[in-house]
A = this chain, B = another copy of it.
C-alpha cells in the first residue's frame, strides 16, 4: 500500500470519526506505531489534524459530530476486537448489517485475506483496497437487510468455504441461540454457517438476550462471541460454555 494512500485513509477516518488511535492504525495497516506516528505528525504539520497523546483528533470537532461518534463508538470498539480473531491468509465470510460493516472497515491491511460477502455496501468498502481478494455473493437484493439472498445466494455459498464467518443482525440468547426475523434470512445464515469452520458473532448490547421467530443455530455452535464489557445477558451465555471476548 502506498504511503499517500494510507495517509488518505487516515484523513478519511479523521473526518468521519473525528479521531484516530496510533496503535489501532498500526495494527490495521500492519506497520509499526513509529510509522503511523510519523504519518500523524505529518498530517498535523499540514493542519489536517491535531496531535494528542495516543493518536490524533480532527481540528474542528462539532457537538453534533461527537454525538454521532458516540452512537457508533460501541460498534467500532466491537469491530476492533473482532478483527483480532483473524489470522493472515484466512478466508472471511461477512454477513450484512451495520456492525459487520464496521468490521469490514476495520479489517487489517496486507494480511492476504479473502473476503466473501453478500452485502453490496461491504463489497464496495473492500473493493477500494487492493490488499485482499473479494468474492461477491449475488442474488436478489433485500432493501430491509441490505443483503443479497434467495436460492442463488444459498447455492453460491454452498460452493465456497470460509475459515471465519461473521454472522450479524440477529437476536442472541442463551436459551434460543441465534435467531432471525424471517425464514429466508435464517436459511441463508444456516447455509453460511455450513460453509464455514467457525462462527463469530459480534453483538451490540441491544441484540443480547433477545430472540426472533426463526431459529438459525444453537448457542453451542458459536465459536466466539464478541460483546461489550457491560453486556447484559452475557453471563448466561458464558455459563453455557460460549467463548466470549470482551471489547475494551
Give me the interface of A with B, judged by CB distance under 8 Å: 2-5, 8, 11-12, 15-19, 21, 50, 52-55, 57, 61, 63-64, 67, 118, 120-121, 123-125, 127-128, 130, 133-141, 143, 146, 148, 152-153, 156, 159
Contacts and interface: CB of A to CB of B under 8 A. Distances in A.
Nearest to A14: B63
A213 B215 CA distance: 52
B136 A18 contact: no
18 contacts: A3-B52, A4-B54, A5-B19, A12-B64, A19-B130, A64-B128, A120-B127, A121-B127, A130-B143, A134-B141, A135-B138, A135-B139, A136-B137, A136-B141, A137-B138, A138-B148, A138-B156, A152-B159
Contacts of A5: 19, 52, 57
B8 A53 contact: no
Nearest to A12: B63
A interface secondary structure, majority: mixed
Contacts of A146: 127
B18 A128 contact: yes
